[in-house]
Amino acid sequence: MKKQNTRANVVIKKGQEFPITIKRLGINGEGVGYFKRTVVFVPGALPGEEVVVEATTIKPKYAEAKIKKIRKKSPHRVNPPCPIYEKCGGCQLQHLEYSQQLKEKRDILIQALERHTKLKIEKMDIRPTIGMDDPWLYRNKSQFQVGEIKGNIIAGLYSMNSHKLIDIPNCIVQHPATNKAVRVVKEILNDLNIPVYNERKRTGIIRTIVARVAVGTGEVQVVLITAKKELPKKALIVAEIQKRLPEVKSIIQNINGKKTSLIFGDESLQLGGEQSIQEVLGDISFELSSRAFFQLNPTQTVKLYDEVKKAAQLTGVEKVVDAYCGVGTIGLWLADQAGEIRGMDVIKEGIEDAEKNAKKHGINNVHYEVGKAEVIMPKWIKAGWKPDVIIVDPPRSGCDDALLDTIMKTDAKKIVYVSCNPSTLAKDLNVLTKKYKVEYMQPVDMFPQTAHVECVSQIVLK
């Protein structure tokens, strides 16, 4: 006899109102609950809350809804201090007290493991999230889109799921130096009547203002992303930035004429000051050029890299691979405890910075190459150089399949996986755990007030 499907096929209609209890937070910081077995995502709702919602989007497997009324509030709900929090969408968790954010982030990691792996999670060592003492004003880089309202230049982020630009004169998760730099550059562009880019009409020049501060030295870099190479009143812009913002040590123009959501184009020109700024972490200083990747929260970066050091357990003789090495930060952090470090990255400027950083500190046991880890590592192995420890710090998309294959063939004793996306970490662990065992996972909060969570995993050969 055919088993009858008892699942109720409830159709939620757009605009329908219904009560729901929130069970957990989703990966984007939204509340997750169930209405007649259909999963419902509710931005702004918190675990444990009973809310009345209105359905806004209906998909085959889930629905999205907005809060109409909170019947039972979470004891961890707080008033978000940012005046444009609801509009902006840059942060997702300002309405949740910080100590609880840390618990929820550990849970987001566990959810990803439940969804994407068959690991016995209850037997795993998943540690409490390492947080910040002061979870505000921490971001060392802002990338604000530029627009115009009533003849005035604005700069900020696009509102959640829309193309409406929200002006952000003072972001409370950004370092004050980046807020100031963007504000003053906006004034200068206004004063000099520099045309801003209009995406619809494909007219104007300035697309984005990027400001980065080296927190250890106070040096600031300003990058103007332009739609064309010709920048009107270029010399005047540079002179005004240098006059009004003496802390700016590097002024760069980057040209991006493509219709794309990517911020940076391929061509950069040095307009004023130095090519890069100097950052200091612990005892090591780093050259940061405009396109080189560097962690956005220096205070937590020290904690993160110390966790990498703990997980690597180096004794002074190991051959270490630093894949996706950027400006060499992780490798240089560990160099005094390793036999040799080899790093690679696809961004040429990052590798140039890594080499400069190593040379400046007299660190001689490092070697860097431009290219993909999955291409370079097999070449080294073929030449007889086999790593003992592999450190991967991939982008949000996770490790390339070819790199995972290469890692599996190396028989390295240990992998230290630094992840910024629990979902892709979980998927990559599916591959790695065929040959390796996850010893422990240490979540680290690099982005307070947002749903992002980083994690350092120690993975050892079975």
Cα dihedral: 267, 271, 273, 275 (round 10): 10
Q: What value does the mean pLDDT take over residues 275-279?
A: 96
Q: What is the pLDDT of residues 184-226, one digit of tens each?
A: 999 999 999 999 999 888 899 999 999 999 999 999 999 999 9
pLDDT band at 10 (very low <50, low <70, confident <90, very high): low
Beta bridge partners of 222: 211, 251
Give the pTM: 0.92
Residue 218 Cα distances to 4, 243, 345, angstroms: 67, 17, 27
Chain segment 374-419, per-residue pLDDT in tens: 899 989 999 999 999 999 999 999 999 999 999 999 999 999 999 9
pLDDT at 6: 42
Query: What is the percent of the chain where pLDDT is above 90?
Result: 91
Is the backbone of residue 419 left (phi > 0), alpha (psi -120 to 50) or beta? beta
Position 7 pLDDT exceeds 90 = no
Q: In the predicted model, is pLDDT for residue 2 greater than 70?
A: no
More confident: 409 or 11:
409
Which of 82, 91, 325, 420 is labelled catalytic?
420
Give the whole-number percent of the chain exceeding pLDDT 70: 98
Residue 425 DSSP class: H
Mean pLDDT across the chain? 95
For residue 168, what pLDDT is reported?
96
Q: Which secondary-structure segment (H or E) carries 314?
A: none
Q: What is the mean pLDDT of residues 77-85?
A: 97
Q: Are 19 and 34 in contact (CB under 8 A)?
A: no
Task: Report the pLDDT averaged over residues 72-78.
Answer: 98
91 is catalytic: no
